[in-house]
Amino acid sequence: MLETVFMLPGPTEVPQAVAQAMSRPMINHRGEGFKRLFSEVQAALEPLLNTDGGILILPGSGTGAMECAAVNLLEPGESALVVAMGAFGHRFADICRGAGISVTNLNVPWGEVPDPQAIRAHIETAGPKAVFVTHNETSTGTCLDLEGVGRALASTGVFLVVDAVSSLGGIPVNMREWGIDVLVSASQKALMTPPGLALVAFSPRAQAAAARNPRPRYYWDWNLYLRDALKSQTPYTPALPQWFGLLEALRLIEAEGLESVFARHRAMSRMTRAGLEIVGAPPLGMASCASPTVTAFRMPGGINADQVRQALNERYGMVAAGGQGHLKGEIIRFGHMGAATTGHVLAALERLGLALRDVGATVDVPAALEAARQAGGEGT
Ligand code: PMP
Protein backbone atom coordinates (compact mmCIF):
# COMPACT_ATOMS: atom_id res chain seq x y z
CA MET A 1 0.00 0.00 0.00
CA LEU A 2 1.48 3.33 -1.08
CA GLU A 3 1.69 6.05 1.50
CA THR A 4 -0.39 9.03 0.40
CA VAL A 5 1.55 12.03 -0.82
CA PHE A 6 -0.54 15.05 0.09
CA MET A 7 0.55 18.09 -1.88
CA LEU A 8 -2.36 20.46 -1.93
CA PRO A 9 -1.36 24.12 -1.72
CA GLY A 10 -3.41 24.22 1.48
CA PRO A 11 -4.58 22.74 3.66
CA THR A 12 -1.18 21.11 4.03
CA GLU A 13 -0.03 18.07 5.94
CA VAL A 14 -0.18 18.55 9.71
CA PRO A 15 2.85 17.26 11.64
CA GLN A 16 2.11 14.65 14.29
CA ALA A 17 3.32 16.95 17.07
CA VAL A 18 0.85 19.63 15.96
CA ALA A 19 -2.04 17.16 15.76
CA GLN A 20 -1.19 15.90 19.24
CA ALA A 21 -1.00 19.40 20.68
CA MET A 22 -4.47 20.08 19.27
CA SER A 23 -5.99 17.23 21.22
CA ARG A 24 -5.01 18.73 24.56
CA PRO A 25 -7.91 19.29 26.99
CA MET A 26 -9.66 22.65 26.79
CA ILE A 27 -8.45 25.47 29.00
CA ASN A 28 -10.28 28.49 30.36
CA HIS A 29 -9.86 31.17 27.70
CA ARG A 30 -10.20 33.77 30.46
CA GLY A 31 -7.58 32.13 32.66
CA GLU A 32 -3.83 32.35 33.11
CA GLY A 33 -3.16 29.39 30.76
CA PHE A 34 -4.62 31.22 27.78
CA LYS A 35 -2.81 34.44 28.64
CA ARG A 36 0.45 32.51 28.52
CA LEU A 37 -0.51 30.83 25.25
CA PHE A 38 -1.50 34.20 23.76
CA SER A 39 1.87 35.75 24.62
CA GLU A 40 3.84 32.71 23.44
CA VAL A 41 2.08 32.61 20.06
CA GLN A 42 2.60 36.37 19.57
CA ALA A 43 6.29 36.07 20.43
CA ALA A 44 6.79 33.04 18.19
CA LEU A 45 5.08 34.77 15.23
CA GLU A 46 7.14 37.94 15.50
CA PRO A 47 10.28 36.59 13.72
CA LEU A 48 8.11 35.48 10.78
CA LEU A 49 6.49 38.91 10.44
CA ASN A 50 9.08 41.41 11.70
CA THR A 51 6.51 43.94 12.79
CA ASP A 52 6.33 46.86 15.22
CA GLY A 53 2.56 46.69 15.30
CA GLY A 54 -0.24 44.38 16.35
CA ILE A 55 -0.82 40.74 15.47
CA LEU A 56 -4.38 39.43 15.69
CA ILE A 57 -5.42 35.79 15.47
CA LEU A 58 -9.09 35.36 14.72
CA PRO A 59 -11.32 32.39 14.05
CA GLY A 60 -11.70 32.28 10.28
CA SER A 61 -9.91 31.45 7.08
CA GLY A 62 -7.69 33.58 4.86
CA THR A 63 -10.68 35.18 3.16
CA GLY A 64 -11.97 36.37 6.53
CA ALA A 65 -8.57 37.91 7.24
CA MET A 66 -8.71 39.68 3.85
CA GLU A 67 -12.12 41.16 4.62
CA CYS A 68 -10.97 42.09 8.11
CA ALA A 69 -8.06 44.04 6.59
CA ALA A 70 -10.25 45.90 4.09
CA VAL A 71 -13.05 46.92 6.46
CA ASN A 72 -10.75 48.14 9.21
CA LEU A 73 -8.39 50.13 7.03
CA LEU A 74 -10.81 51.78 4.62
CA GLU A 75 -14.09 53.63 4.93
CA PRO A 76 -16.82 53.10 2.34
CA GLY A 77 -16.09 55.36 -0.62
CA GLU A 78 -12.32 55.45 -0.06
CA SER A 79 -10.16 54.22 -2.90
CA ALA A 80 -7.86 51.26 -3.39
CA LEU A 81 -5.64 49.96 -6.15
CA VAL A 82 -5.95 46.18 -6.23
CA VAL A 83 -3.19 44.32 -8.02
CA ALA A 84 -4.27 40.90 -9.30
CA MET A 85 -1.96 38.26 -10.74
CA GLY A 86 -4.45 35.42 -10.35
CA ALA A 87 -7.61 34.22 -8.61
CA PHE A 88 -6.77 35.51 -5.13
CA GLY A 89 -5.92 39.01 -6.32
CA HIS A 90 -9.35 39.12 -7.96
CA ARG A 91 -10.88 37.93 -4.69
CA PHE A 92 -9.27 40.88 -2.89
CA ALA A 93 -10.83 43.22 -5.45
CA ASP A 94 -14.26 41.59 -4.92
CA ILE A 95 -13.93 41.89 -1.14
CA CYS A 96 -13.03 45.58 -1.42
CA ARG A 97 -15.91 46.27 -3.80
CA GLY A 98 -18.25 44.41 -1.45
CA ALA A 99 -17.08 46.69 1.35
CA GLY A 100 -18.04 49.77 -0.68
CA ILE A 101 -14.45 50.68 -1.48
CA SER A 102 -13.79 52.35 -4.82
CA VAL A 103 -11.49 49.92 -6.65
CA THR A 104 -9.02 50.52 -9.46
CA ASN A 105 -7.66 47.26 -10.89
CA LEU A 106 -4.18 46.49 -12.05
CA ASN A 107 -4.41 43.00 -13.56
CA VAL A 108 -1.49 41.12 -15.02
CA PRO A 109 -1.83 37.93 -17.09
CA TRP A 110 -1.95 34.78 -14.95
CA GLY A 111 1.59 33.42 -14.60
CA GLU A 112 3.17 36.88 -14.61
CA VAL A 113 3.93 39.33 -11.82
CA PRO A 114 3.78 43.13 -12.02
CA ASP A 115 6.90 45.26 -11.98
CA PRO A 116 7.00 47.31 -8.73
CA GLN A 117 7.50 50.44 -10.84
CA ALA A 118 4.28 49.70 -12.75
CA ILE A 119 2.43 49.63 -9.42
CA ARG A 120 4.04 52.93 -8.51
CA ALA A 121 2.98 54.44 -11.86
CA HIS A 122 -0.62 53.32 -11.29
CA ILE A 123 -0.61 54.94 -7.86
CA GLU A 124 0.36 58.21 -9.42
CA THR A 125 -2.58 58.12 -11.82
CA ALA A 126 -5.22 56.51 -9.58
CA GLY A 127 -4.28 58.23 -6.29
CA PRO A 128 -5.54 55.46 -3.97
CA LYS A 129 -5.36 55.45 -0.18
CA ALA A 130 -4.20 51.80 -0.18
CA VAL A 131 -2.68 49.23 -2.51
CA PHE A 132 -3.68 45.58 -2.14
CA VAL A 133 -1.28 42.92 -3.42
CA THR A 134 -0.91 39.15 -3.26
CA HIS A 135 2.55 38.11 -2.10
CA ASN A 136 2.29 34.57 -3.38
CA GLU A 137 -0.46 33.83 -5.91
CA THR A 138 -1.51 30.28 -5.18
CA SER A 139 -3.60 29.94 -8.34
CA THR A 140 -0.55 30.45 -10.59
CA GLY A 141 2.48 29.59 -8.46
CA THR A 142 4.03 33.03 -8.78
CA CYS A 143 5.66 35.17 -6.13
CA LEU A 144 5.73 38.97 -6.13
CA ASP A 145 8.89 40.93 -5.34
CA LEU A 146 7.33 42.30 -2.17
CA GLU A 147 10.48 44.00 -0.98
CA GLY A 148 10.68 45.78 -4.35
CA VAL A 149 7.03 46.84 -4.10
CA GLY A 150 7.66 48.18 -0.61
CA ARG A 151 10.64 50.16 -1.88
CA ALA A 152 8.70 51.54 -4.86
CA LEU A 153 5.88 52.70 -2.59
CA ALA A 154 8.09 54.02 0.21
CA SER A 155 7.73 57.74 -0.43
CA THR A 156 4.07 57.66 -1.52
CA GLY A 157 2.34 57.48 1.86
CA VAL A 158 -0.05 54.90 0.40
CA PHE A 159 -0.95 51.98 2.67
CA LEU A 160 0.40 48.62 1.51
CA VAL A 161 -1.89 45.64 2.22
CA VAL A 162 -0.52 42.15 1.57
CA ASP A 163 -2.19 38.78 1.18
CA ALA A 164 0.47 36.44 2.60
CA VAL A 165 -1.88 33.46 2.97
CA SER A 166 0.37 31.07 1.04
CA SER A 167 3.69 32.71 1.89
CA LEU A 168 3.91 33.36 5.63
CA GLY A 169 6.17 30.78 7.23
CA GLY A 170 7.61 29.60 3.90
CA ILE A 171 8.86 32.81 2.30
CA PRO A 172 10.57 35.76 4.06
CA VAL A 173 8.41 38.72 5.05
CA ASN A 174 9.61 41.89 6.73
CA MET A 175 6.74 44.21 7.56
CA ARG A 176 8.96 46.79 9.23
CA GLU A 177 11.66 47.11 6.57
CA TRP A 178 9.40 46.67 3.54
CA GLY A 179 6.78 49.16 4.72
CA ILE A 180 3.91 46.68 4.90
CA ASP A 181 0.91 48.19 6.66
CA VAL A 182 -1.43 45.23 6.80
CA LEU A 183 -0.59 41.57 6.25
CA VAL A 184 -3.09 38.73 6.28
CA SER A 185 -2.52 35.00 6.46
CA ALA A 186 -4.11 31.76 7.60
CA SER A 187 -3.18 28.67 9.58
CA GLN A 188 -3.50 25.94 6.95
CA LYS A 189 -0.56 26.53 4.59
CA ALA A 190 3.10 27.03 5.45
CA LEU A 191 2.07 27.36 9.11
CA MET A 192 1.26 23.62 9.16
CA THR A 193 -1.88 23.96 11.30
CA PRO A 194 -5.36 22.85 10.20
CA PRO A 195 -7.71 25.45 8.70
CA GLY A 196 -9.51 27.72 11.15
CA LEU A 197 -7.26 30.61 12.08
CA ALA A 198 -7.07 33.93 10.26
CA LEU A 199 -4.10 36.12 11.00
CA VAL A 200 -3.98 39.90 10.59
CA ALA A 201 -0.88 41.97 11.39
CA PHE A 202 -0.62 45.70 10.98
CA SER A 203 1.68 48.69 11.33
CA PRO A 204 1.14 51.43 13.94
CA ARG A 205 -0.13 53.83 11.27
CA ALA A 206 -2.63 51.25 9.97
CA GLN A 207 -3.75 50.78 13.56
CA ALA A 208 -4.27 54.54 13.88
CA ALA A 209 -6.29 54.60 10.63
CA ALA A 210 -8.50 51.76 11.89
CA ALA A 211 -9.06 53.56 15.19
CA ARG A 212 -10.36 56.60 13.26
CA ASN A 213 -12.44 54.59 10.78
CA PRO A 214 -16.16 55.22 11.43
CA ARG A 215 -17.30 52.25 9.33
CA PRO A 216 -19.86 50.15 11.26
CA ARG A 217 -18.36 46.72 12.05
CA TYR A 218 -18.40 44.33 14.95
CA TYR A 219 -16.81 40.85 14.81
CA TRP A 220 -13.91 42.00 12.61
CA ASP A 221 -13.27 45.24 14.53
CA TRP A 222 -9.53 45.41 15.26
CA ASN A 223 -10.11 47.92 18.00
CA LEU A 224 -11.89 45.40 20.20
CA TYR A 225 -9.17 42.79 19.62
CA LEU A 226 -6.49 45.36 20.44
CA ARG A 227 -8.29 46.45 23.59
CA ASP A 228 -8.37 42.85 24.83
CA ALA A 229 -4.82 42.09 23.62
CA LEU A 230 -3.64 44.39 26.40
CA LYS A 231 -4.98 41.70 28.76
CA SER A 232 -3.55 38.87 26.57
CA GLN A 233 -7.10 37.86 25.67
CA THR A 234 -9.43 37.87 22.70
CA PRO A 235 -12.88 39.52 22.84
CA TYR A 236 -14.67 36.35 21.68
CA THR A 237 -13.96 32.65 22.28
CA PRO A 238 -10.66 31.75 20.57
CA ALA A 239 -10.37 28.55 18.50
CA LEU A 240 -8.30 26.91 21.23
CA PRO A 241 -7.20 23.66 19.49
CA GLN A 242 -5.89 25.72 16.57
CA TRP A 243 -3.98 27.95 18.98
CA PHE A 244 -2.42 24.87 20.64
CA GLY A 245 -1.48 23.54 17.22
CA LEU A 246 -0.13 26.84 15.92
CA LEU A 247 2.19 27.25 18.88
CA GLU A 248 3.57 23.75 18.29
CA ALA A 249 4.01 24.46 14.57
CA LEU A 250 5.85 27.68 15.35
CA ARG A 251 8.11 25.76 17.71
CA LEU A 252 8.91 23.32 14.88
CA ILE A 253 9.80 26.26 12.61
CA GLU A 254 11.97 27.75 15.35
CA ALA A 255 13.75 24.41 15.89
CA GLU A 256 14.51 23.99 12.19
CA GLY A 257 15.65 27.61 11.97
CA LEU A 258 13.82 30.18 9.88
CA GLU A 259 16.58 30.50 7.29
CA SER A 260 16.69 26.71 6.84
CA VAL A 261 12.92 26.64 6.46
CA PHE A 262 13.08 29.28 3.72
CA ALA A 263 15.99 27.46 2.02
CA ARG A 264 14.03 24.17 2.10
CA HIS A 265 11.09 25.87 0.38
CA ARG A 266 13.32 27.35 -2.32
CA ALA A 267 14.95 23.95 -2.87
CA MET A 268 11.54 22.25 -3.22
CA SER A 269 10.56 24.82 -5.85
CA ARG A 270 13.80 24.38 -7.83
CA MET A 271 13.47 20.60 -7.67
CA THR A 272 9.86 20.62 -8.82
CA ARG A 273 10.62 22.85 -11.78
CA ALA A 274 13.72 20.88 -12.81
CA GLY A 275 11.77 17.61 -12.67
CA LEU A 276 8.86 19.08 -14.60
CA GLU A 277 11.17 20.21 -17.36
CA ILE A 278 12.22 16.60 -17.99
CA VAL A 279 8.63 15.40 -17.64
CA GLY A 280 7.62 17.90 -20.35
CA ALA A 281 5.08 19.67 -18.12
CA PRO A 282 6.08 23.36 -18.22
CA PRO A 283 5.51 25.55 -15.15
CA LEU A 284 3.09 28.41 -15.65
CA GLY A 285 5.30 31.24 -14.41
CA MET A 286 8.86 32.14 -15.28
CA ALA A 287 11.69 30.98 -13.01
CA SER A 288 12.35 34.59 -11.98
CA CYS A 289 8.97 34.78 -10.21
CA ALA A 290 8.66 31.11 -9.22
CA SER A 291 6.87 30.58 -5.94
CA PRO A 292 8.84 28.71 -3.27
CA THR A 293 5.58 27.22 -1.90
CA VAL A 294 3.49 26.17 -4.92
CA THR A 295 4.17 25.21 -8.53
CA ALA A 296 1.48 25.27 -11.22
CA PHE A 297 2.23 23.47 -14.47
CA ARG A 298 0.66 22.60 -17.81
CA MET A 299 0.35 19.12 -19.28
CA PRO A 300 2.40 17.74 -22.17
CA GLY A 301 0.71 17.25 -25.52
CA GLY A 302 -2.73 18.61 -24.72
CA ILE A 303 -3.49 16.02 -22.02
CA ASN A 304 -6.38 16.95 -19.71
CA ALA A 305 -4.95 17.91 -16.33
CA ASP A 306 -7.97 16.75 -14.36
CA GLN A 307 -7.65 13.28 -15.89
CA VAL A 308 -4.03 13.11 -14.70
CA ARG A 309 -5.03 14.36 -11.27
CA GLN A 310 -7.66 11.66 -11.06
CA ALA A 311 -5.08 9.00 -11.98
CA LEU A 312 -2.72 10.43 -9.37
CA ASN A 313 -5.41 10.21 -6.77
CA GLU A 314 -6.89 6.82 -7.61
CA ARG A 315 -3.84 4.85 -8.71
CA TYR A 316 -0.90 6.53 -7.01
CA GLY A 317 -2.26 7.80 -3.71
CA MET A 318 -1.38 11.38 -4.43
CA VAL A 319 -3.46 14.48 -3.75
CA ALA A 320 -2.72 17.59 -5.85
CA ALA A 321 -4.81 20.62 -6.80
CA GLY A 322 -6.27 21.56 -10.17
CA GLY A 323 -6.55 24.86 -11.97
CA GLN A 324 -8.87 27.68 -10.99
CA GLY A 325 -10.89 29.98 -13.25
CA HIS A 326 -9.91 29.73 -16.91
CA LEU A 327 -7.08 27.31 -16.01
CA LYS A 328 -9.47 24.57 -14.89
CA GLY A 329 -8.50 21.32 -16.64
CA GLU A 330 -5.34 22.98 -17.95
CA ILE A 331 -2.96 22.81 -15.02
CA ILE A 332 -2.04 20.87 -11.90
CA ARG A 333 -0.73 22.60 -8.79
CA PHE A 334 1.68 21.03 -6.32
CA GLY A 335 1.89 22.65 -2.91
CA HIS A 336 5.36 22.22 -1.43
CA MET A 337 5.15 24.08 1.81
CA GLY A 338 4.93 23.71 5.53
CA ALA A 339 5.87 20.18 6.54
CA ALA A 340 6.64 19.11 2.94
CA THR A 341 10.17 17.88 2.33
CA THR A 342 12.41 17.35 -0.68
CA GLY A 343 11.48 13.65 -0.33
CA HIS A 344 7.82 14.52 -0.89
CA VAL A 345 8.79 16.42 -4.03
CA LEU A 346 10.66 13.40 -5.42
CA ALA A 347 7.71 11.13 -4.63
CA ALA A 348 5.32 13.60 -6.27
CA LEU A 349 7.42 13.81 -9.44
CA GLU A 350 7.69 10.06 -9.66
CA ARG A 351 3.95 9.56 -9.31
CA LEU A 352 3.23 12.35 -11.78
CA GLY A 353 5.54 10.69 -14.31
CA LEU A 354 3.75 7.36 -13.87
CA ALA A 355 0.28 8.93 -14.14
CA LEU A 356 1.29 10.78 -17.30
CA ARG A 357 2.59 7.55 -18.80
CA ASP A 358 -0.75 5.93 -18.05
CA VAL A 359 -2.53 8.53 -20.18
CA GLY A 360 -0.14 8.10 -23.08
CA ALA A 361 2.77 10.49 -22.51
CA THR A 362 6.38 9.39 -22.85
CA VAL A 363 8.19 10.25 -19.64
CA ASP A 364 11.69 9.36 -18.48
CA VAL A 365 10.89 9.12 -14.77
CA PRO A 366 14.45 8.31 -13.51
CA ALA A 367 15.84 11.27 -15.49
CA ALA A 368 13.22 13.60 -13.99
CA LEU A 369 14.12 12.45 -10.49
CA GLU A 370 17.82 12.87 -11.16
CA ALA A 371 17.29 16.42 -12.50
CA ALA A 372 15.24 17.26 -9.41
CA ARG A 373 17.88 15.82 -7.10
CA GLN A 374 20.59 17.86 -8.77
CA ALA A 375 18.52 21.05 -8.60
CA GLY A 376 17.88 20.48 -4.91
CA GLY A 377 21.56 20.49 -4.08
CA GLU A 378 23.11 18.74 -1.13
CA GLY A 379 21.07 16.35 0.95
CA THR A 380 18.44 15.51 -1.65
N1 PMP B 1 -5.19 34.11 -0.66
C2 PMP B 1 -4.38 33.17 -1.10
C3 PMP B 1 -3.09 33.55 -1.76
C4 PMP B 1 -4.72 31.82 -0.94
O5 PMP B 1 -3.90 30.87 -1.37
C6 PMP B 1 -5.94 31.48 -0.32
C7 PMP B 1 -6.36 30.05 -0.11
N8 PMP B 1 -6.03 29.18 -1.09
C9 PMP B 1 -6.76 32.53 0.11
C10 PMP B 1 -6.35 33.83 -0.07
C11 PMP B 1 -8.07 32.26 0.75
O12 PMP B 1 -7.91 31.62 1.94
P13 PMP B 1 -9.05 30.71 2.60
O14 PMP B 1 -9.36 29.62 1.62
O15 PMP B 1 -8.34 30.25 3.83
O16 PMP B 1 -10.20 31.59 2.87
Q: Give yes or no for residue 2 having a pLDDT over 80.
A: no
Q: Give yes or no for residue 47 having a pLDDT over 90.
A: yes
Compute the average pLDDT of residues 30-54. Answer: 97
Of the candidates 117, 123, 141, 156, which has an alpha carbon nearest to the alpha carbon of residue 10? 141
Give pLDDT tens digits for 108-137: 999 999 999 999 999 999 999 999 999 999
Q: Is 267 helix (H, G, I), strand (E, B) or coil?
A: helix
Compute, in angstroms, the gap from residue 293 CA to the centroid of ligand 1.
Answer: 13
Give pLDDT tens digits for 219-229: 999 999 999 99
Instruction: Report the nearest-CA residue for atom 12 of ligand 1.
Output: 62
In this predicted structure, what is the pLDDT of residue 379? Answer: 65
Write the DSSP string, 300-362: GGG--HHHHHHHHHHHH-EE-EE--GGGTTTEEEEE--TT--HHHHHHHHHHHHHHHHHTT--
Give pLDDT tens digits for 150-208: 999 999 999 999 999 999 999 999 999 999 999 999 999 999 999 999 999 999 999 99
Residue type, 260: S
Instruction: Report the nearest-CA residue for atom 13 of ligand 1.
Output: 62
- Atom of ligand 1 at shortest range from CA of 135: 3
Percent of all residues in the chain with a pLDDT value above 90, rounded to a whole number: 97
87 lines ligand 1 (CB under 6 A): no
Which of the four pLDDT bands, split at 50, 70 and 90, describes residue 3?
confident
In this predicted structure, what is the pLDDT of residue 326? Answer: 94
In this predicted structure, what is the pLDDT of residue 378? Answer: 73
138 lines ligand 1 (CB under 6 A): yes
62 lines ligand 1 (CB under 6 A): yes
Give the DSSP letter of residue 125: H
In this predicted structure, what is the pLDDT of residue 173? Answer: 98
**pTM of the predicted model as reported, rounded to 2 decimal places:** 0.98
Compute the average pLDDT of residues 281-290. Answer: 96
Q: Give yes or no for residue 1 having a pLDDT over 70.
A: no
Cis link prior to 214 (omega < 30° from 0)? no
C-alpha span between 206 and 276 (Å, rounded)? 42
Give the DSSP letter of residue 3: P
Angle formed by the axes of helices 204-212 and 222-229, nearest 10°: 120
CB 227 within 8 A of CB 49: no
